[in-house]
Copies of this chain bind each other. A is one copy, B any other.
């Protein structure tokens, strides 16, 4: 088994997709073990560490990578199977941030309000019990919620020679912030530049739908990704697959356009997988599909369109990359 381990030094973190050379080259079939910092670069460590004071724009939401996948060319698809995503520390943080979030004026939903209070919440992370513990800041209320680790950010270098801040989700991936991106899931990303140049970051111990306050339970992660390259197959927007579902994503504003992109991709993808007429697929997705909300706070909003594979008769998807990578991931895990 080809295993590659990478732990970035702070100065090796990336803040854009595109515009940066690879930190490493890996062959398809490699299992990559990586450490990812939290979205604050690890600088928010207690309730007095206000992000607007301890962090510096644009050094937010660092990603680990980019990784050059050998042989990847525009027109191909990278398959990234998340074998495991585990919190690297026994704590995590969440915050409000001035003029960021869904229930506050922002720089684009510009208003004359002063910002809401900037507050930090420190969570205890119990990886054994599989819970995180919330503590109210103003009062003594506390509650446990299930640990459900995920990555907010995964993507490749964009098309058209663009470089985009890691905080922005778009057709190249980026900060989609969907809780669907958990261990056991394969992410498909269309390759735009030689090597693809994928990167991963923004681990969350858990996240509500929409990340309404702007941040999740933010944590550094030890993450294992098994990589495949699917030659000659394009992918217009990031897609996900787990054992039971296929999923399409869309990232745009307003939110209905994120919904439209994801549903449109799921409908046309379903039609192409099955030979169904497009309107027949439209109908089937209309009745059988789910639409988990990703984020409603980032520079683009993200929606996921999700359908049980069984509703399509269990078609072959991306040359069965998911089941192959799942097996590879199990082999990796049983070898540790």
Contacts and interface: CB of A to CB of B under 8 A. Distances in A.
A279 B138 contact: yes
Interface in A149-202: 159-165
Given A276-B141, A283-B121, A290-B209, A110 B257 contact: yes
Given A279-B138, A284-B134, A19 B161 contact: yes
B250 A253 contact: no
Given A136-B277, A138-B280, A162-B164, 15 more contacts: A19-B19, A96-B279, A102-B263, A103-B267, A108-B250, A109-B260, A113-B116, A136-B276, A137-B283, A139-B280, A207-B287, A208-B285, A212-B267, A255-B255, A255-B259
Given A209-B289, A289-B209, A161 B16 contact: yes
Contacts of A256: 102, 253-255, 296, 301
A76 interface: no
B210 A263 contact: yes
Given A111-B105, A112-B264, A141-B280, A296 B259 contact: yes
Contacts of A107: 261
A94 interface: yes
Say how many copies of this protein the assembly contains: 4
Contacts of A254: 253-256
A89 to B, nearest CB: 17
18 contacts: A15-B160, A104-B111, A110-B260, A112-B116, A134-B284, A134-B287, A136-B280, A138-B280, A139-B275, A141-B276, A143-B310, A145-B287, A207-B287, A209-B289, A213-B282, A254-B254, A256-B301, A291-B296
Contacts of A284: 134, 136, 143
Contacts of A257: 108-110, 253
Contacts of A145: 287-288, 311
B103 A311 contact: no
A169 to B, nearest CB: 12
Contacts of A211: 286
